[in-house]
Amino acid sequence: MSVVQANMHPLDNYLRTERLPHVWCSGCGIGTVLGAYLRAMKNIGMDPEKTIMVSGIGCTGRAAGYVKMDSFHTTHGRPIPFAVGIKAARPDLNVTVFSGDGDLFAIGGNHIIHAARRNADITVITINNFIYGMTGGQLAPTTPETGITTTSPYGNVESPFNLAGLVAVSGASYVARWTSLHVRRLEKSIEKALKKRGFSFVEVLSPCPTAYGRRNRMRDPVDMLKYFQEHAVVKHHINPLEGVIEPDKDFIVGEFLDAEEEPTFEDKLWEMTKKEFLYTSQAERTAWILEHRRHLETLSKIISGRGER
C-alpha cells in the first residue's frame, strides 16, 4: 500500500515554502502559471540544481523569489540579457526567464526580439495580463484597444503588440500562447518549450483583477476566465500574424511555431571560440571558465583587501 504524506505538497521540493504566503492578489493568474511551469519541470525530470530562473521587476517577477533553484530578480526590462549571458557562460544549465508583459515587451522590448533573432537557447514564459500590474495599472504595450487603465482613463487608442506573433517573426524556435485557464495544455507546452533547443517562448494570458479587470467590466476574477473560455480558439501552426487580440472578439491560442532545430547562439559562439579552448568539449570549456572565475574572485579579494594574500 502506498503512503501519501499529507503534510507535503507535490511541488514542495521546487518551492521555497518558507517564503509563503506569496504577495499575489486572490484571483491573480500568476500562481497558476508558476504551478504549470514547476509541474512541467518535474514531469520532464529537469534538475532544479541545474536550472536558473531569471525575472525582471513586476508582480510576475516576484516568482523568482519563490522557486527553489538559483534565481535572479534582475532590474526592470533586463532579464533577457541577464539570462543570455548566463547561458553563454554556462551552456550546461537550463535557463528560464519568467516575467511580465511590460517588463519583456515595453522597456525590455528590444532585448526579446534580438534574443529570438539570435536563437539564444533560453525559455521565456511571459504573463500577459494586459497591464503594468505592480505599479497600479498603467497602459502596457499589450493593453487591448479601448482598454481603460490609469493612464488611459478614456480608453486606449493604441494597437497592442501581438506578443507571440512578434517573437515568432523575430526568429524564435518555439512559440505558443495559452491562457491561465488552459492549465493542462499550458503545462504540456512548457514541457516542449523547456526541451526545445533554441529560443522558446510561451505567452500566457492571465487575469489581473486588481489593476485591469476591475476597470474593464471584469471585476470578479472569474469574469476574465469566462472571457478566456468564451473567446479563446485553439489553432496550431497558424500564420503568427493572425494572433491579434481585439476587445470582445475571439482570439487564437495554441502552438504557433515549432521549428526545425537550428544552431543556437551558444553553438555559434562555441564554434567561433573553440580554437581558443584548444578544441576541447563544451563541458571542458565550462570547467575552464569556472576555474578561471575562481582565480578572478581571489584576485578581486586581494585587490579589495578582503582576501588572503
Ligand X SMILES: Cc1ncc(C[n+]2csc(CCOP(=O)(O)OP(=O)(O)O)c2C)c(N)n1
Q: Write out the residues near ligand SF4 by the rule CB under 6 A.
A: 24-25, 28, 30, 59, 129, 133-134, 208-211
Rg from Cα positions in the chain: 21
144 closest CA partner among 127, 126, 162: 162
Run of H or E residues at 302 = helix 282-304
What CA–CA distance (Å, rounded) separates 231 from 303?
61
| Closest distance of CB 111 from ligand X, Å | 13
Residue with cell 534538475: 47
Q: Which is nearer to Mg ion, 46 or 245 (CB)?
A: 245
3-state secondary structure of 270: helix
Q: How many residues bind ligand X (CB under 6 A)?
A: 18
Answer yes or no whether residue 101 interacts with ligand X by CB under 6 A. yes
Residues that bind Mg ion in the complex, under the rule CB under 5 A: 100-102, 129, 133
Cis-peptide into 79, omega within 30 deg:
no
| Closest distance of CB 207 from Mg ion, Å | 11
| Closest distance of CB 219 from ligand X, Å | 18
Q: Which is nearer to Mg ion, 99 or 200 (CB)?
A: 99
In the chain, the DSSP E strands lie at: 51-55, 70-73, 94-100, 123-128, 174-179, 200-205, 232-234, 251-258
266 closest CA partner among 88, 108, 8: 88
In contact, 231 and 181? CB cutoff 8 Å: no
| Closest distance of CB 100 from Mg ion, Å | 4
198 closest CA partner among 274, 128, 118, 256: 118
Site string (59-98) toward ligand X, x via CB under 6 A: xx---------------x----------------------
Question: Please, what is the Cα angle at 279 between 200 and 116, to 5 degrees?
Answer: 15
Residue 135 interacting entry, from ligand SF4, Mg ion, ligand X, none, C-beta within 5 to 8 Å by type: ligand X
Q: Which is nearer to ligand X, 158 or 262 (CB)?
A: 158
What CA–CA distance (Å, rounded) separates 188 from 200?
14
Q: Which is nearer to Mg ion, 132 or 265 (CB)?
A: 132
Q: Which of 15, 63, 103, 224 binds ligand X (CB under 6 A)?
A: 103
Answer yes or no whether residue 129 interacts with ligand X by CB under 6 A. yes
Q: Which is nearer to ligand X, 35 or 91 (CB)?
A: 35
Residue 28 interacting entry, from ligand X, ligand SF4, Mg ion, none, C-beta within 5 to 8 Å by type: ligand SF4
**Footprint on this chain of ligand X (rule: CB under 6 A):** 57-60, 76, 100-103, 107, 127, 129, 131-135, 140
